[in-house]
Structure 1
Amino acid sequence: MRRYAVTEFSRPLCMVVEDDPVPHGTEVVLDLQRCGVCHTDLHLREGHYDLGGGKRLSLAERGVGLPVTLGHEILGRIAAVGPEAGEAVGSLGRSVLAYPWIGCGACHRCLSGEENLCAAGRCLGVHRPGGYAEKVVVPHPRYLIDVEDLDPSAAATLACSGLTAYSALRKIAGDPAQDWLLLIGAGGLGQSALRLARALGHVRIVVADTAPAKRERALALGADRVLDPADAGARAELLAVETGLAAAIDFVGTTETARFALDGLRRGGRYVVVGMFGGEVTLSLPLLPLRALTLMGSYVGNLDELRDLVDLVRRHGLTLVETETVPLDQAEAAMRRLEAGAVAGRIVLSHRA
């Protein structure tokens, strides 16, 4: 089998050829059908996150060892199962979506169903080999979700892009039929969030992005208003909306987007940070209680949320983000396009249809 791995941080992916994996214990081997290309993959290839102020978070110090085969939006056909996988796997050849945000399985977070928050994660495409490969090993069948009836390219993106947007939306409070919601960033995540917010009953949605083409796309997808955060009048427009801005979800995560969101929130508003492009923000602490603001981060989502998301997509017939499918051997080229900002929705790698 071939896989495309980071063998040195800040260097292009390398193709590695090795023996096909043999499943042990509860493991399940998937023949790759699709794997989404995500901004997290860019951070992993570089080996760090930008924390702002000249500071970096080293991924090597966080347990990411080399080589690492990228790719966590994984959809494939069941090819082989370990002797302890049991009948829960179902039939060979079935198309399944893999939940990639796997924890240690033993800590309080894992036992309470929040493996994505485990401090000793074993995530596919991060700590374990991911989907930039012809075959992928999933440690247990409980992480597999049947998607036989869904478009494979669109369904693959649910494991991260869709799940991240859905989990962030689940964290905002208020009345979706009355309150205004701000989505910052109209790329793949923002587009997914816009469609999901409508399906979840949100009526008043404003989308902010500095790119005119992305604002136009957001309008075409049903945003009530679009704003350019760099526009001097954008903050005033947020402050003037009826009932005030109840919540903001930031899919970019820079100093500028944080300031834009925080300045626009009403009293009791909630700011949810998803994006990790880098930056920092200075807050006057007395204003937090005086304005009764809630600041929180949202990191992907848990397994139950992914199952709920797949059900929601199936019931509403949703396609969350436009996809472009390219061959697996174009993984490095796809990452370069994403890095250059030349991707409107989501690139999905394909090995077998």
Structure 2
Amino acid sequence: MSAVVRGLVARGAGQELTVEDVRLPRPDAGEVRVRIRAAGVCHSDLSMVNGTLAPPFPLVLGHEAAGVVVEVGDGVERVRVEDHVVLNWAPACRQCWFCRHDEPWLCASSGTPAVARGATADGAQLHVTLGLGALAQEVVVPQHAVIAVPPALPWAEAALLGCAVLTGVGAVNNTAAVKAGDSVAVIGLGGVGLAALTAARAAGAGPVIAVDVSPAKRELALAAGATDYLVSDDRLAKTIRELTEGRGVDHAFECVGRSATIRTAWRSARRGGQVIVVGMGAKDDEVGLSALDIFHSARTLRSSVYGSSDPDREVPELARAVLDGSLSLAPLITDRIPLDAAPAAFERMARGEGARSVVLFDE
């Protein structure tokens, strides 16, 4: 028998989000059913419905979540019923060229924008975001899309490990390899940007310059580890250079996903510095850079996909860091809400308000 659960459904780009009954299949061989306990509202979910991406609809949103295993299919050995797990929206196959060359975050078979799974109450074929559709009471996913974590880990913090924390911390530690004494700028202070600030400060970077369009995010930025806070304006790159003895920062992290902020990050980095694009942008939003500037600046421009991480290894490490107090995620969570309040959380995120909203599900 399939399961009927409540989930946040998008019926089309730009349409109102609704909480609806959806029907999920029973776990097949190698699959597990997870009762979701907490799920973050991530900007990548917004990209699914605001026209940045073009997934199929109807679509259950959500990909950053944690919960408890309630059923397993035949052949499942990775987890057991009652295990606490974090969901992984890009599980590595461990067999493709990228996985065999130690780049599982680029796995050829992972990260599909939407997967057909289940049906709506009116019988339409249902799709789930990034193979998960985690803004729902339950999900059915392949066993390699879950990672066991200690039961002592709070649900809200556990959920954020699956995307915002893994992405932001990984961008700093894995992609850029920030070290003590390096200067850092982080542009865009959603959950991922705040996680990047936390990681940069923990690495001993300084100054750590936080940038956003909203003055209201100053306290969040300072709590996450920023030494300086700037409201973005036309002089932003010049101001960042003034804070770094005229050079620019060693590492500029762009956590917005827009060509304009990528160019600003480029101008904010020193000669020979790194520009790391963490935000996911639109296909038609092209970045223009001078060929002479590229040559003369000797900067490196690269992206950080899923924090250049191996979630199977790094999620348990991050969970231990949260539990021992060496990683604080408190500044990342500004709203704890029920599922019915998720549409309003998407509206706040579109306006650039707050950091992460986390949907908490009852027992």
TM range (shorter): 0.7 to 0.9
Whether the aligned pair in 2 keeps the contact of 1:99 and 1:306 (CA below 8 Å) is no
Q: Does 1:288 align with 2:294?
A: yes
In structure 2, do the counterparts of structure 1 residues 135 and 114 end up closer, same or farther at CA, with 3 Å as the change threshold? farther
Indicate conservation of the 8 Å contact 2:240/2:248, yes or no.
Answer: no
1:284-319, CA deviations, whole angstroms, 9 ceiling, x for partnerless residues? 223223221100011224323434433433341422
For structure 2, list consecutive stretches of 5 or more residues without a partner in the other structure: 115-127
Q: Which amino acid aligns with 1:161?
A: A
Q: Quick one: structure 1 residues 76 and 249, their matched pair in 2 at CA, closer, same or farther if it must change by over 3 Å?
A: same
* 1:235 matches 2:225: no
Q: Shift in Å at residue 7 of structure 1?
A: 2.6
Q: Structure 2 CA distance, aligned partners of 1:227 and 1:141?
A: 41
Aligned to 2:358: 348
**Identical counterparts, % of pairs:** 33
Q: Tell me, which stretches of 5 or more residues in structure 1 are unaligned?
A: 50-57
Verify: 1:118 aligned to 2:107, yes or no: yes
Q: In structure 2, what is the Cα distance between the partners aligned to 1:4 and 1:237?
A: 40
> Which whole-Å CA distance do the structure 2 matches of 1:15 and 1:78 have between them?
23
Counterpart code for 1:285? A
Contact 2:24 2:140 in 1 (8 A): no
> Residue 112 of structure 1: CA displacement?
4.5
Query: Greater CA deviation, 316-325 or 14-23?
Result: 14-23
Aligned to 2:159: 156
Query: 3-state SS of the aligned residue for 2:250?
Result: strand
Q: Which residue of 2 aligns with 1:270?
A: 274
Distance change >3 Å, CA 341–CA 241, structure 1 → 2 = closer
Deviation at 1:331, TM superposition (A): 2.5
Q: Deviations over 1:108-142 (max 9, x none)?
A: 22444544423443557524241121111120156
Partners of 2:175 and 2:236 in 1: how far apart?
28
Please state how far the C-alpha of 1:151 moved relative to its aligned partner: 1.5
Partner of 1:309: 318
Q: Which of these residues, 44, 59, 69, is aligned with residue 68 of structure 1?
A: 59
Q: 1:53: which partner in 2?
A: none
Aligned pair in 2 of structure 1 residues 137, 246: CA closer, same or farther (>3 Å)?
same
Is 2:148 aligned against 1:139? no
1:250 positional shift: 0.8
Is residue 80 of structure 1 aligned with residue 71 of structure 2? yes
User: Alpha-carbon deviation of 1:178?
Assistant: 1.9
**Partner letter of residue 79 of structure 2?**
V
* Residue correspondence of structure 1 range 103-252 to structure 2 within 5 A: 106-112=95-101, 114-121=103-110, 123=112, 125-141=128-144, 143-169=146-172, 170-173=174-177, 176-230=179-233, 232=235, 235-239=238-242, 241-242=244-245, 244-252=248-256
Q: Does 1:324 align with 2:335?
A: yes
Q: Which AA in structure 2 matches 1:74?
A: A
* Contact residue 132 and residue 141 of structure 2 kept, 8 A: no
Q: Secondary structure at the match of 2:129?
A: coil
Q: TM-score, normalised by structure 1?
A: 0.85
- Pair 1:19–1:274, CA change in 2 (3 A): closer
Instruction: Give the residue type in structure 2 aligned to 1:260.
Output: T
Using the TM superposition, give the Cα deviation of residue 210 of structure 1 relative to its aligned residue in structure 2, in angstroms.
Answer: 2.5
Q: Matched residue of 2:262: which SS?
A: helix
CA contact (8 A) 1:13 1:332 kept: yes
Q: Give 1:249 deviation, angstroms.
A: 0.3
Provide the rounded CA distance (Å) in 2 between the counterparts of 1:233 and 1:128.
38
Return the alpha-carbon distance in structure 1 between the equivalents of residues 336 and 314 of structure 2.
26
Q: Distance in 2 between matches of 1:251 and 1:314?
A: 26
Matched AA of 1:257 = T
Matching residue within 91, 96, 106 for 2:85: 96
- 15-24 vs 131-140, which deviates more? 15-24
8 Å Cα contact 1:2-1:133 kept in structure 2: yes
Instruction: State the distance in 2 between where 1:94 and 1:7 align.
Output: 33
Q: Aligned AA for 1:117?
A: L
Conserved in 2, the CA contact under 8 Å of 1:5 and 1:69?
Answer: yes
Shift of residue 271, structure 1, vs aligned partner: 0.2
Cα drift, residue 89 of structure 1: 1.0
| Equivalent residue, structure 1, for 2:119 | none
TM-superposed CA distance for 1:16, in Å, is 4.0
The answer to whether the 8 A contact 1:147-1:155 is kept is no
1:52 is matched with which residue? none
AA paired with 1:310?
A
CA shift at 1:224, angstroms? 1.6
| Cα pair distance change 1:189/1:142, threshold 3 Å | closer
Contact 2:149 2:316 in 1 (8 A): no
Amino acid at match of 2:315: L
- Distance in structure 2 (CA, Å) of the matches to 1:220 and 1:122: 32
* 2:205 partner letter: H
Q: Give the alignment's Cα RMSD to 1 decimal.
A: 2.6
Equivalence for 1:11: 15
Contact 1:28 1:141 in 2 (8 A): no
CA deviation profile, 1:122-179 (whole Å, cap 9, x unmatched): 55752424112111112015632314111211221121111110121121146x2222
**Take 1:160 and 1:173, find their aligned partners in 2: how far apart are those partners?**
19
1:292–1:308: structure 2 CA closer, same or farther, 3 Å change rule? farther
